[in-house]
Amino acid sequence: MRLLPVAATLSLAVAVAYYVYIPLPDAIQQPWKLMLLDAGFRATMHLASLKSWLGFDHYITSIRQSSEGFDGMMEGLLSSESGGGVMPGVKVSDVTFAGVPVRVYEPPAGGEGHLRRGLMFFHGGGWALGTAKKGPYDAINRMLSDELNAVVVSVEYRLYPEVHFPVPYLDCLAAAVHFLSPEVQARYAIDPDRVAVAGDSAGGNLAAAVAQEISTDETMRVKFSVQALIYPVLQALDFNTPSYLQNQHIPILHRHLMVRFWLQYLGADLSLLDQLLANNHSSLHHSNITPELRARLDWTALLAPKHKRSYRPLVVEKGSRGPAQELPGLLDVRASPLLAGPEVLAKCPRAYILTCEHDVLRDDGLMYARRLQDAGVSVTGDHYEDGFHGCFSFITWPMDFDVGKRAIRGYINWLQKNL
């Protein structure tokens, strides 16, 4: 009878190990830490889906509740590590810009009479999760404000399921136009020639789209001078790029999850997921996807050989018409900035684009960097061979990764020299 508890314990341990363990590339440091992080995220999603199925909460609401608890814990750790506050000299205020909630970080007093840098930041989270008011985002923005002597504005744009595209984009654009107005620039003593827009993941998508719109708006007196995109998501026509296939099971952004985020953002039925994974939504059958448009995300021409490897493009001859009809936002450059024409890209500000080797979105960033360069825009590419999606946010013990700390330092250093 004593063997039963031992057997049960061993069975549980094996089950947990089976759930946690996933094979990871040798280049990724601290693999077990990443496995545990991914297991926790997957468990949160599974539990949220179960609660939704039982009729308790929308699964995104459940994930947010869990994330808020985690962010609260991280905020406490950050506070204790810094002796009671992260960059205590930075003034933080929660206000609204054109009706959109924002958090403003102002550097410590001093240097009166001198104009400061300005930076607008859009957080990631698949257009459904996240807030820049807590956790690593808050810490990074405080650090930026302090080290760069910059007024940093983090935008709390509306999220799925409350809204769909183009509402998050329109929120970000409205906040950006307000931020760039001469009145606001004067109020915060910002140098109009030194203003950046930045974002990570879905926030990188919004930053790129907003930068394009502002750059081509002839009515704007002040425009962004630089854009900093952290592993941005930039297109939804090809989910079979080399990076999508190579990294489809790599934490923390699996291929099917990114496609799900896209469907949610575009307000589509999640049952279309398999068709998007098979590229049926972008088949040659769809005459509105012209050869010129396809060339703008032709990774066979835009990627270096080391990233193309032996992969072959998946171009479907005849796919279903359903996804294209149900997803009108697929070809909207406000949702997919990579689809913008060269005449638009040529007007964009110089760019910093961070990509990670072990990230499904790697090729989105690399292709955008190449297209910007081809349009005559100065681009700095910062590629991390040991990086994975989300590493930029993992800087605090116990979920700290060396690559995340290096990524943040590289981002800040580039802004220091180029903004």
Enzyme catalytic residues: 201, 359, 389
Long-range contacts of 129-134 (CB under 8 A, 24+ apart): 129/60, 129/63, 129/64, 129/67, 129/159, 130/67, 130/159, 131/68, 131/71, 131/156, 132/103, 132/156, 133/94, 133/103, 134/68, 134/71, 134/72, 134/74, 134/75
Report the side by side order of strands in the sheet with 190-200. 91-97, 100-106, 150-155, 116-122, 190-200, 226-230, 350-358, 379-388
107 DSSP 8-state letter: P
E strands within 301-378? 350-358
- CA-wise closest residue to 212 among 159, 173, 167, 157: 173
Phi-psi category of 201—alpha, beta or left, where left has phi over 0 and alpha has psi -120 to 50?
A: left
Question: How far is it, in rounded angstroms, from Cα 406 to Cα 311?
Answer: 30
Helix (H) or strand (E) holding 413: helix 402-418
Strand bridging mode 116-122 / 150-155: parallel
Report the amino acid identity of residue 62.
Answer: S
Q: With contact defined as beta carbons under 8 Å apart, do 116 and 188 qualify?
A: yes
Question: How far is it, in rounded angstroms, from Cα 355 to Cα 207?
Answer: 15
E strands within 107-246? 116-122, 150-155, 190-200, 226-230
DSSP assignment of 241-302 equals SHHHHHTTT-SSS-HHHHHHHHHHHTT--GGGHHHHHTTGGG-TT-TTS-HHHHHTT-HHHH
Asked whether the bond before 166 is cis by omega within 30 degrees of 0, the reply is: yes
